[in-house]
């Protein structure tokens, strides 16, 4: 009898805990709940947690495409058919190209796996282009505060790297760049369009002036615009990511930062002229058309990006960019009113400040950093589409409570604030 009861109990307790084919889902459900709770307080990382792909997945299931494999191996701008989404990838590339000043008639690009993947292509294409033009190996110049992927990729690609010191706000020091520049070698320059921690943008005009004065044998500029490249085209600062104004040769933007992809992806754009100077590696079974680094590539990511573009359009992205800038200013005003030491770069959605207590770091998933010039321990918030007023208000209340609990330390904080004045913000 007891045994029967036991069996019934087990049977009842497993209802709703397995999928029809017997895969246990309890573990998955707990996991899903945890992620959905955590994402609301994701203030420290530059991702749009306001993902809106339910209707995409509904369509994906309804059509049965969810049970198919697509593989975008090959050149999306010169597709030779196959079970892939090249037609959509091409439309995604052609949607973004004019926003960054690329001419449809001299364009090449792909949907990448990530911002890093786009940087890998930019540096690789740049090095090849410069060697083809000069027969010499280039030197890579990048600010010390640029994303670490540049250093990793320089190592991977065996490029001679010159790390240029940055000013306290994180921008490449132009005088140091001028000192480091060797005009006898081709210059491969990666421009940080939003450094990781402080959100600094390198001064492209000043870099250009140095290049005009020192005239290196050849120059290639790659823009690492993983985060800022997402929203800047929809603000009045759009020229910063426009190659007709600043002459960069390629750009990498992440798809999962501003645009609201639900998994890492990105876009890489360059010109067809540069594409022609790449190693073609004749690969007959892929139509001799494999200039990109990866063979197999996602067929699903371009479909989702295409969907996101259709849903939002330029109008939707413009509205989101404006709200991000507005909310960043709101956070700044609230911090200012609290006399809480904080700093922000021009054009940026990244506010960095004196690091609060550990419970706040954990609750809001804040990213930590350290810089003596700003009094030591720092943290930052990146304002994205899920981080508008209600989240900011709650965050500020937490900071207030933290300040009250640590009121003995306030004088030290005020001093830091006075030492480094707030830069004029240019939203």
Residues lying near ligand PLP in the complex (CB under 6 A) = 46, 114-116, 147, 149, 194, 196, 224, 226-227, 254, 264, 266
Q: Which is nearer to ligand PLP, 147 or 173 (CB)?
A: 147
Q: Which is nearer to ligand PLP, 257 or 342 (CB)?
A: 257
Q: Which is nearer to ligand PLP, 172 or 403 (CB)?
A: 172
Cα separation values, 315 from 174, 232, 366, Å: 36, 14, 30
Task: Mark 326-346 as b/e (b = at least 16 C-beta within 10 Å).
Answer: ebbbbbbebbeeeebbbbbbb
Q: At closest approach, how far in Å is the CB of 335 from ligand PLP?
A: 22
Residue in 303, 259, 301 with CA at minimum distance from that of residue 52: 259
Which residue sits closest to ligand PLP, CB atoms considered?
Answer: 115
Task: Mark 213-248 as b/e (b = at least 16 C-beta within 10 Å).
Answer: eeebbbbbbbbbbbbbbbbbbbbebbebbbbeebeb
Q: Which is nearer to ligand PLP, 320 or 417 (CB)?
A: 320
Q: At closest approach, how far in Å is the CB of 334 from ligand PLP?
A: 24
Q: Which is nearer to ligand PLP, 40 or 151 (CB)?
A: 151
- Give the number of C-alpha atoms closer than 13 A to the C-alpha of residue 20, restricted to the C-beta side: 0
Q: Which is nearer to ligand PLP, 193 or 399 (CB)?
A: 193
Q: At closest approach, how far in Å is the CB of 359 from ligand PLP?
A: 26
Strand order across the beta sheet in which 187-192 lies = 108-112, 266-270, 250-254, 219-224, 187-192, 139-143, 160-164
Listed in sequence order, the DSSP H helices in 232-383 are 243-246, 272-275, 300-337, 358-363
Q: At closest approach, how far in Å is the CB of 398 from ligand PLP?
A: 25
Q: Which is nearer to ligand PLP, 178 or 369 (CB)?
A: 369
In DSSP terms, which residues pair with 10 in a beta bridge? Answer: none
> Counting every residue, how long is the chain?
427
Residue in 303, 347, 305, 327 with CA at minimum distance from that of residue 390: 327
Q: At closest approach, how far in Å is the CB of 199 from ligand PLP?
A: 9
Q: Which is nearer to ligand PLP, 117 or 249 (CB)?
A: 117
Q: At closest approach, how far in Å is the CB of 226 from ligand PLP?
A: 3
- Alpha-carbon distance of 345 to 424, in angstroms, equals 8
Q: At closest approach, how far in Å is the CB of 251 from ligand PLP?
A: 11
Neighbours of 399 (CB within 10 A): 20
Q: At closest approach, how far in Å is the CB of 63 from ligand PLP?
A: 29
* SS3 state of residue 223: strand
Supply 415's token pair.
């001093």
């Amino acid at each position: 009898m007891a045994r029967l009861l036991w069996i019934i109990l087990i049977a009842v307790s497993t209802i709703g805990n397995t999928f029809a084919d017997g895969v246990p889902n309890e573990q998955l459900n707990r996991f899903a709940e945890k992620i959905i709770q955590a994402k609301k307080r994701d203030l420290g990382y530059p991702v749009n947690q306001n993902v809106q792909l339910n209707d995409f997945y509904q369509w994906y299931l309804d059509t049965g495409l969810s049970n198919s494999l697509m593989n975008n191996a090959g050149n999306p701008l010169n597709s030779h058919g196959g079970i892939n989404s090249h037609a959509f990838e091409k439309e995604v590339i052609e949607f973004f190209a004019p926003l960054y000043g690329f001419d449809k008639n001299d364009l090449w690009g792909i949907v990448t796996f990530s911002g890093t993947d786009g940087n890998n292509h930019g540096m690789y294409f740049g090095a090849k282009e410069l060697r083809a033009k000069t027969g010499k190996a280039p030197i890579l110049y990048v600010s010390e505060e640029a994303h670490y992927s540049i250093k990793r990729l320089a190592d991977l690609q065996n490029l001679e790297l010159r790390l240029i010191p940055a000013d306290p706000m994180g921008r490449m020091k132009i005088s140091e760049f001028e000192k480091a520049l060797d005009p006898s070698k081709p210059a491969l320059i990666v421009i940080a369009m939003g450094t990781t921690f402080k959100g600094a943008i390198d001064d492209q005009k000043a870099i250009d002036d140095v290049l005009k004065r020192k005239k290196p044998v050849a120059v290639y500029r790659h823009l690492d615009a993983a985060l800022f490249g997402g929203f800047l085209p929809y603000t009045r600062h759009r020229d910063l990511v426009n190659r007709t104004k600043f002459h960069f040769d390629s750009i990498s933007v992440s798809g999962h930062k501003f645009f609201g992809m639900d998994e890492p992806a990105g876009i890489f754009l360059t010109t067809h002229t540069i594409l022609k100077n790449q190693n073609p590696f004749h690969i007959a079974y892929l139509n001799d058309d494999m200039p990109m680094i990866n063979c197999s590539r996602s067929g699903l990511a371009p479909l989702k990006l295409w969907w996101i573009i259709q849903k939002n359009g330029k109008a939707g992205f413009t509205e989101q960019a404006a709200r991000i800038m507005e909310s960043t200013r709101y956070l700044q005003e609230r911090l200012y009113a609290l006399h809480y030491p904080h700093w922000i770069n021009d054009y940026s959605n990244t506010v960095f400040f004196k690091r609060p207590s550990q419970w706040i770091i954990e609750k809001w998933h804040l990213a930590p950093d350290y810089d003596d010039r700003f009094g030591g321990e720092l943290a930052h918030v990146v304002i994205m589409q899920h981080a508008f007023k209600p989240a900011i208000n709650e965050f500020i209340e937490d900071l207030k409570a933290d300040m009250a609990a640590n009121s003995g330390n306030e004088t030290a904080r005020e001093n830091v604030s006075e030492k480094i004045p707030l830069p004029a913000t240019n939203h």
